[in-house]
Amino acid sequence: MRLTILGCYAATPRTLTNPTAQVLEINGHIILIDCGEGTQVELRRRKIKFSRINHIFISHLHGDHFFGLPGLISTMRLLGREKELHVYGPKGIKEAITLLLKLGDSWTNYPLLFHELASKEPELVFEDKKISVTTIPLDHRIYTNGFLFKEKEGKRKLNIDAAQNYGIDKAYYQNIKNGKDITLDNGETILNKELTFDPPKPKSYAFCSDTVYDTNLSEQLKGVDVLYHESTFLESEAELATKTKHSTALQAAKIAKAANVKTLVLGHYSTRYKSIELFKEEATTIFSNVLLADDGRAFDF
């Protein structure tokens, strides 16, 4: 599982920082999460092919989280895209994007499919044989969701040495891989777990931005491998965080600790601070395994 940060700063683009966008590579999927201005430039800079992105998840309709989407959709058309593109986001995103396409007489040549969200409860919005994606309802100034990405458990791997020790014919190897027990000629049944190795533990990633500090989140986030949680402010501006419905680094750490996640990634920083290291210093007083998102930074888990 790889997370590439394209942008992780709050509010407005600057010469050296970009608003929110990130790419999650998980179990064969390359997924774009949020799409602030400058996203397609950063995708090119990080050598991530537009054609490999089939699913885009937009948390909410504040400009620093989706103003890059119309340009990206248009560029995909110019590049000759033919396969479907699925966009998941709040109700209204289809109207916003299609109006721009209509006024510019630039309808896509490829199927552009919108999945509009309105539920205030967690809901499964995408699932295939490899992953599932569930919304994480957040409390912000407008309707907002985070997203929980989970790998499906893979197939068990054949233990060839064990199969050979039992004298099992190769013709039965596929059945073993498919999880079946094997009955020997003498009538003895060999359980599948004795003939296979456990598959790698499925990984999970939770994206939470933007939101006020909400202790209720910890229940849905319980035990995830990696949590990205916004930390717009430091605790010295906690009142401002509450007023604008954002979180502090300390509050993000409290959520991570309560949910017993493995790794916390901080982001969505206000640019009022002299160094993002201050966010890590604050968070690690509560939760030890803290990483700092920064534009262009990639993490492998």
Q: Is 225 annotated as a binding-site member?
A: no
Q: Which two tokens stand for residue 211?
A: 């939101």
What span, in angstroms and rounded, lies between the C-alpha atoms of 252 and 232? 10
What span, in angstroms and rounded, lies between the C-alpha atoms of 96 and 78? 20
Tokens 């109700």 sit on residue: 91
Q: Which two tokens stand for residue 133?
A: 């994606």
Q: Is 65 annotated as a binding-site member?
A: yes
Tokens 């394209």 sit on residue: 6
What span, in angstroms and rounded, lies between the C-alpha atoms of 140 and 176? 49
Q: Provide the pLDDT confidence category of residue 229 given band limits of 50, 70 and 90.
A: very high
Q: Residue 178: is its pLDDT beyond 90?
A: no
**Percent of the chain clearing pLDDT 70 (strictly above):** 100
pLDDT value of position 247: 98
Per 3-state DSSP, what percentage of the chain is helix, strand, and coil (rounded to 5)? 30, 30, 45
Q: Is 199 helix (H, G, I), strand (E, B) or coil?
A: coil
Predicted TM-score (pTM) of this structure: 0.93
Residues 106-129, mean pLDDT to the nearest whole number: 97
Whether the Cβ atoms of residue 214 and residue 221 lie closer than 8 Å to each other = no
Q: Cα-Cα-Cα-Cα dihedral of 185, 187, 191, 192, to 10°?
A: 30
pLDDT value of position 155: 83
Q: Which DSSP state fits 186?
A: T
What span, in angstroms and rounded, lies between the C-alpha atoms of 243 and 235? 13
Backbone torsion region of residue 179, taken as left when φ is above 0, otherwise alpha when ψ lies between -120 and 50, otherwise beta: left
**Percent of the chain clearing pLDDT 90 (strictly above):** 96
Q: Provide the pLDDT confidence category of residue 145 given band limits of 50, 70 and 90.
A: very high
Q: Provide the pLDDT confidence category of residue 17 given band limits of 50, 70 and 90.
A: very high
Q: Which residues are catalytic?
A: 64
Q: Is 60 annotated as a binding-site member?
A: yes
Residues 41-50, mean pLDDT to the nearest whole number: 98
Residues 25-41, mean pLDDT to the nearest whole number: 98
Phi, psi of 196 (to 5 degrees): -140, 165
Residues 215-230, mean pLDDT to the nearest whole number: 98
Please give the full DSSP string across 127-179, using - where no structure is assigned. Answer: E-SSEEEEEEEE-SSS-EEEEEEEEPP-PPEE-HHHHHHTT--GGGHHHHHTT
Whether the Cβ atoms of residue 117 and residue 145 lie closer than 8 Å to each other = yes
* Average pLDDT of the chain, as a whole number: 97
Domain 2-154+200-300, what fold?
Metallo-beta-lactamase; Chain A (3.60.15)
Q: Which DSSP state fits 96?
A: H
Amino acid at 41: V
H/E segment holding residue 258: helix 249-259
What span, in angstroms and rounded, lies between the C-alpha atoms of 299 and 24? 10
Q: Is 64 annotated as a binding-site member?
A: yes
pLDDT value of position 154: 86
Whether the Cβ atoms of residue 30 and residue 23 lie closer than 8 Å to each other = yes
Residues 108-135, mean pLDDT to the nearest whole number: 98
pLDDT value of position 227: 98
Residues 175-196, mean pLDDT to the nearest whole number: 92
Q: Provide the pLDDT confidence category of residue 6 given band limits of 50, 70 and 90.
A: very high
Q: Is 246 annotated as a binding-site member?
A: no
The domain segmentation of the chain, as residue ranges, is 2-154+200-300, 157-197
Q: Residue 10: is its pLDDT beyond 90?
A: yes
| β-strand partners of 296 | none
pLDDT value of position 156: 86
Which string of b and e fits 80-112 if b means at least 16 CB within 10 Å? ebeeebbbbbbeebbeebbeebeeeeeeeebeb
Q: Examine residue 300 and say whether the peptide bond preceding it is cis (omega within 30 degrees of 0).
A: no
Read off the pLDDT of residues 240-285 as tens digits, 9 standing for 90 and up.
999 999 999 999 999 999 999 999 999 999 999 999 999 999 999 9
| β-strand partners of 88 | 57, 115
Of residues 16, 11, 4, 15, the one with CA closest to residue 36: 11
